[in-house]
Amino acid sequence: MRHFISTLIISLITLSGFIAQGQDNIALEATSQNQWTGLTVSKENRLFVNFPRWSDNVPVSVGEVVNGHVKAFPDKSWNKYTGAKADEEKFICVQSVFVDAENRLWVLDPANPKFQGVHKRGPRLYHFNLETNKLVKAYDFDEEIIFDNSYLNDVRIDTDRDIAYITDSNVGGILTVDLKSGETNRYLTGHTSVQSEMNYLRFSNGLWENKVASDGIALTPDHKHLYFAALSGHTLYRIPTEKLTTKVSEEDRKDAVEHVASVYATDGMLFDDEGSLYMGGLERNAVYKLTQSGDYRPVTQGPKVQWADSFTKDPEGNIYFTTSQLHLSPEQRGLYKIYQIEKPVEENNGKILMVITSHGKLGETEGEPTGYYLSEVSHAYYEYKKAGYDVDFVSPKGGKSPVDGYDLDDPVNKKFVNDKDAQQKINSSMTPDEVELEDYRGIYYAGGHGTMWDLPENKKLNALTAKKHETGGVIGAVCHGPAGLVNVKLSNGKYLVDGKTVSCFTNQEEEASHADVVPFMLESKLEERGAEHMKSPKWQKKVIVDGRLVTGQNPASAKGVAKKMIEVIGKK
């Protein structure tokens, strides 16, 4: 076995001298009562998770996180495995999910529920089309490469070669699937690099006694090397991918395995866009990063990180991880969580003006309470802050505005409500007369049904928006927020949205909500103003960019609108 660059051979004694980072740089994204392991993000920022069948408490095997809640993917029927023969074509025990560079969703089902042995159907790798949410193909594995106690654990997709790389964490080994021919192979079985080094890990609460072989894997950005490690161990290895995709002897293949570094035990691992490898630091309640230069340091460490299980990144390169709390007894565990590792904030990028409603009734003068929709404010607010933008608020009446959608199970909402600076700002919003327009790079209209009554006819906000657009600013709006755009006219007398492609709260969504109360149907009104309306199915995300106008369909689209506004501002 060859050794990699000597500077990367790091001893655990040296590691213990590093000063750990705090936990201010991770943000809670989602929580669950059920134990998840894998997660992945699509190019449209759709977040998928999976729940392995390690107990009887697995209501969903694969889910999509929508507004902080898990929705069965692709539908409920796929997730209703009971052990009956009729259920063999459904998800049996899903261990990982992965979206590749071509935006294909892969679901790895080891079919070994409760570790009681591989189901007679055998493991499967599923490919789903994310435009249709339909199954494209299911790959079975040749019987001779699957052992009775195999547990296929993690998957990465080499889109250059159309090859899937998979670990077996019970027997130990690397499996490949040729995604064109369906041919499956198994390599390195019995080799030291894929075997557990010990039968326990040591935590502050005692020993976690378990032998887990090759577990996490990561494919380098150039697809030239596959990194892997046994969970019950402290050694990181890699192998050139050509040794797994070309015909060489198994002896040559084993000789090609390289020792990279001594590390803390890790479950999952993932390369970021810069080529740094993110890994768990399980025994230290940490996430570590190994750079190309060999620097190995904690990114975050502390009690929030209870077994960093799997990692993913979104289209902007932000890293996310799950906590599965495997080292804790069931009674010691709290909610299972997903955290985002926040990038250092870039300073002095300017300001965003966020428009919120002052109207608090579902009616002109009376009706049920409404206001601005909290998640459409909070999710956008923190995207702007992360990108280095300050955020100010304006409303027709100024001061404190009524709020709707006060869901504190949404961790971003909870963060916003407990953020003293954010609360001070939003509860003392400016009036339109107080806005110094040149201070802002863009204007974002948050939704909530209240906008339908007071934003369309606010001439001062209309004028501010028209001027900002005509002087190079970026305009964004989500859900009912585009109500603030329906009467915005430019200097040429045309409506701002005339000839633009837009998205907003759809007529179909309104019919399922408050169609009997609102003063007009927003989708129809925008079309009357000359806009072309684009939409997703009810309650699904949709973000449309047309020049310097960015619009979104519903609350689930708020974060995406903010991200796209930031992107468009950066291109100016």
Known catalytic residues?
A: 479-480, 510
Give me the residues paired with residue 269 across strands.
Answer: 279
Nearest Cα to Cα of residue 300 among 559, 19, 9, 94: 19
Amino acid at 293: S
Alpha carbons 232 and 429: distance in angstroms, whole number: 54
Residue pair 456/364 in contact by the 8 Å Cβ criterion:
no
For residue 156, list its beta bridge partners: 165
Using CA atoms, how far residue 66 sits from 281, 477, 554, 556, in Å, is: 29, 19, 11, 7
Contact (Cβ atoms closer than 8 angstroms) between residue 52 and residue 112 = no
> Rounded to whole angstroms, how far apart are CA atoms 552 and 535?
9
Report the amino acid identity of residue 405: G
DSSP H/E element including 242: helix 242-245
Environment class of 462 (CB within 10 Å of its CB; exposed 0-12, middle 13-18, buried 19+): buried
Q: Which residues have CB under 8 Å from 373's CB, separation 6+? A: 403, 404, 405, 446, 447, 448, 449, 479, 480, 555
Closest CA to 234 of 284, 274, 275: 284
